[in-house]
Amino acid sequence: MDLLECYRLMWRIRLFEEKVDQFFGDGTLRGTSHLCVGQEATAVGACAALRPTDYVTSTHRGHGHFLAKGGDPRRLMAELFGKATGYSRGRGGSQHMACYALGFLGSNGITGGGIPIATGAALAIQRRRQSHVVLCFFGDGAANQGVFHEALNLAAVWKLPVIYLCENNLYAMSTPVRATFAIPRIAARAAAYGMPGHTVDGNDLQAVRDAVAEAASRARDGGGPTLLECQTYRLVGHSKSDRRVYRTREEEEEWRARDPILRLGNALLAAGELTEAQAAQIREEEAREIEEAVAFARQSPVLPAEAALEGVYA
């Protein structure tokens, strides 16, 4: 995927998330949602380095991952609206959306829940002698779940084709990483399992793309897993009701200045690969795309009541 496409995709995610935020705020959608505003370069940079046949596991903050893996904003919005045209037929919502055709093995409401799924998928790939890789997104909070240690150890021992990508956005809900890690870099843990570990600027799309491309090529060649720590920041609250009392507005402003979309935009402008007019056009086109997604979601039907028990296995 070229950089202009990445730029467009980052805007798609940003505008999608802003629209979802508006809907939870005005009561159009009930409950809550976890938005990835500010973390777009990690989602897009990582998926841009994958093949369509590769797999991704996601988190509770997964809209960006899904759109980056090729998800259709219309069917994603429909899922949030609980409509039958949604990726999980409206029964999953934000934290239970999946699409096997896209290689998207699911968002996940369990912190760290995607880590064993990714590891199992990588084992399946290895046993079938396929050349796919699995990219596993998870947060800094998830890196302190027990399953993280178990899964990374096994993946390294068995040389599984998986990339563990930690989106270190400095907080797990209200808890800062300085209160939960006695080491400065999460990537340093890789050494304990016997795999490469790298800390990457997660707001630099090209840095993320390059790091994932290298890890993917290593995994495809039978070299086993990699742990990547992408340092980033969510520019919004953890979820709808978060008043962000655990961090300062100054800190947020510092990170706003490192906005990943503006950064790639400025780099493309400076390189003469993008003009201001083109940038504005891309934003407008993506805003229209999101409006179409909303219209599609609104017009779509809900599942009939008779379908309520379909897919219930236990």
Ligand X SMILES: Cc1ncc(C[n+]2csc(CCOP(=O)(O)OP(=O)(O)O)c2C)c(N)n1
Strand 197-201 and strand 226-231: pairing?
Answer: parallel
Determine the 3-state secondary structure of 228 from DSSP: strand
- Given Mg ion, ligand X, none, residue 61, with its beta carbon under 5 to 8 Å by kind, binds ligand X
- Least Å from the CB of residue 278 to ligand X: 32
Stretch near Mg ion under the rule CB under 5 A, chosen from 28-36, 170-178, 198-206, 271-279 = 170-178
What is the identity of the amino acid at 277? A
Whether residue 94 contacts residue 15, with contact meaning beta carbons closer than 8 Å, is answered with no
Of 40, 54, 79, 140, which one interacts with Mg ion (CB under 5 A)? Answer: 140
169 binds Mg ion (CB under 5 A): yes
> Is residue 139 at the binding interface for ligand X, with CB under 6 A as the rule?
yes
Binding at 87: pick from Mg ion, ligand X, none (beta carbon under 5-8 Å per type): none
Q: Is 111 in the site for ligand X (CB under 6 A)?
A: yes
Query: Cβ of residue 111: shortest distance to ligand X, in angstroms?
Result: 4
* C-beta closer to ligand X: residue 105 or 172: 172
231 by DSSP, 3-state: which? strand
Tokens of 142: 């998830």
- Assess contact for 215 and 163: CB atoms under 8 A: yes
- In sign, the C-alpha dihedral spanning 100, 287, 13, 48 is positive
Identity (one letter) of the amino acid at 22?
A: Q
227: contact with ligand X by CB under 6 A: no
Q: Does position 110 bind ligand X by CB under 6 A?
A: yes
Distance of closest approach, residue 314 Cβ to ligand X, in angstroms:
20
Among 17, 79, 140, 229, binds ligand X (CB under 6 A): 140
Q: How many residues bind ligand X (CB under 6 A)?
A: 15
Per-residue contact track with ligand X, 148 to 187, x per CB under 6 A?
A: ---------------------x-xxx--------------
> What is the residue-wise DSSP string for 134-193?
EEEEEETTGGGSHHHHHHHHHHHHTT-SEEEEEEE-SEETTEEGGGT-SSS-GGGGHHHH
Distance CA(190)–CA(207), nearest Å, equals 19
- Both structure tokens of 215: 């890890």
The answer to whether residue 139 forms part of the interface with Mg ion (CB under 5 A) is yes
- Selection from Mg ion, ligand X, none that 173 binds (CB < 5 to 8 A by kind) is ligand X
The total of other beta-carbon atoms located within 10 Å of residue 308's CB is 10
| Options 141, 197, 225, 260; binder of ligand X; rule CB under 6 A | 141
Dihedral sign, CA of 59, 61, 66, 68? negative
CA gap 96, 105 in Å, rounded: 10
Q: How far is the CB of 242 from ligand X (least distance, A)?
A: 10
Q: Which stretch binds ligand X (CB under 6 A): 63-71, 107-115, 128-136, 208-216?
A: 107-115
Binding site for ligand X (CB under 6 A): 59-61, 109-111, 139-142, 169, 171-173, 238
